A and B are shown apart, each in its own frame.
Chain A
Amino acid sequence: MKQDNIRGLKSLICNVSYLISKSLKKMLKIKNLKAEINGKEILKGINLEIKAGEVHAIMGPNGSGKSTLSAVIAGNENFKVTEGEITYQGINLLELPVEERAAMGIFLGFQYPIEIPGVSMVNFIKTAVNEQRKVQGKDPLTAAQFLKLMREKKDLVEIGEKLTNRSVNEGFSGGEKKKNEIFQMAMLEPKLAILDETDSGLDIDALRIVANGVNKLKKPDTSTIVITHYQRLLDFIVPDIVHILYNGRIVKTAGKELALTLEEKGYDWIKEQVDGKK
Chain B
Amino acid sequence: MKIEKINKDLEALYSANTKDINDYSSPIINKHREAAFNDFKKVGVPTKSNEDYKYTDLIPSFDKDYNVTFKPIDIQIKTENLFKCDVVRLDADVTLLSRGRYIEEKKIKEFPKGVIVASFNEAAKKYPEIFEKHYAKYGDTKDNSLYALNTAMAQDGIFIYFPKNSYTEKPIQIINLLVDEKGFFYNTRNLIIIEEAAEANLIFCDDSLSTGEFLGNTATEIYVGKNAKLNFYKIQNEHNESNNISSTYIYQDKDSVFHSGVYSLLGGIIRNNFNINLAEEGCESDLFGLSLVDKKQHTANFVHVNHSKSHCNSNQLFKTILDDNATGAFSGKVYVAKDAQQTNANQTNRNILLTNAAKMSTKPQLVIFADDVKCSHGATVGQLDEDAMFYMRARGIRKKEAKMLLMYAFANECIAAVKIDALRENIQDLAQRRLNGELSLCRNCSARVVNA
Contacts and interface: CB of A to CB of B under 8 A. Distances in A.
Given A99-B397, A114-B387, A124 B392 contact: yes
Q: Which 8 A-B pairs have the closest CB atoms?
A: A118-B409, A102-B396, A128-B395, A98-B393, A114-B391, A103-B396, A131-B396, A99-B393
Interface residues of B, number: 22
A102 B392 CA distance: 10
B1 interface: no
Contact of B409 (A97, A117, A128, A188): A117
**Residue with the highest number of chain B CB atoms closer than 10 Å, among A103, A119, A125:** A119
Contact of B396 (A77, A110, A123, A128): A128
Contacts of A75: 393-394
B391 A99 contact: no
Contacts of A116: 385, 388, 391-392, 405-406, 409
Contacts of B398: 99, 131
Given A114-B387, A127-B405, 7 more contacts: A99-B399, A116-B405, A116-B406, A118-B409, A124-B397, A131-B396, A188-B396
B405 A98 contact: no
A123 B388 contact: no
A93 interface: no
29 contacts: A76-B390, A97-B393, A98-B393, A99-B394, A99-B396, A99-B399, A102-B393, A102-B394, A102-B396, A108-B394, A110-B391, A113-B391, A114-B385, A114-B390, A114-B391, A116-B405, A116-B406, A117-B409, A118-B408, A118-B409, A119-B388, A119-B409, A124-B392, A124-B395, A127-B397, A127-B405, A128-B397, A131-B397, A167-B409
Interface in A92-120: 97-99, 102-103, 108, 110, 113-114, 116-119
Interface in A173-230: 184, 188
Interface of B: 385, 387-388, 390-399, 401-402, 405-406, 408-410, 412-413
Contacts of B391: 110, 113-114, 116, 168
Instruction: Name the residue among B388, B399, B406 with the largest chain A CB count within 10 angstroms.
Output: B388
Contacts of B388: 114, 116, 119
A132 interface: yes
Contacts of A117: 409
A99 B398 CA distance: 6
Nearest to A115: B388
Nearest to B412: A118
A72 to B, nearest CB: 12
